[in-house]
Amino acid sequence: MIVMVTPLVTRFLLELQTSLKNTVKQDGIIGRYGGEEFIVILPNTCEAEAFFLGEKIRRQIEKVNFDIGINVTISIGIAEVDNSDLKIVERADAMLYHAKKTGRNRVVCYSHIS
């Protein structure tokens, strides 16, 4: 398989990476998850703090001018670990898709929906 990455995609990924690095605490873990998704693990962070960080990242990306005639936005799903629950990624992923389905460019927490 050959994957072509355009300069726009590269620029977006660099902007997102910069935003994540500048916003996530030092003990946070940032990684690529799937084709166009990222996962951020925030140890010792409550859901309210994660929501605040997500909103900060969302607003930073929203302000970037990519010179393509449209605004680039991101959607973020948040789930908090519940007693070492192994379904955390599944819940966060469900919140990401919920954010996309309900208008995009938003941060959605699992506790707000469930």
Give the Cα separation of 107 and 98 in Å (integer).
10
Q: What pLDDT score does 1 carry?
A: 46
Q: Is 36 part of the annotated catalytic residue set?
A: yes
Could you give the angle at which helices 47-63 and 7-23 cross, rounded to 10 degrees? Answer: 140
Homologous superfamily of domain range 7-113 = Reverse transcriptase/Diguanylate cyclase domain (3.30.70.270)
Q: Which of 36, 49, 55, 62 is catalytic?
A: 36
For the chain, domain boundaries: 7-113
pTM: 0.78
H-assigned helices in 3-46: 7-23
pLDDT digits (tens, 9 = 90+) for 9-27: 777 888 888 888 888 888 8
pLDDT digits (tens, 9 = 90+) for 65-100: 877 777 788 899 998 887 666 788 888 889 998 999
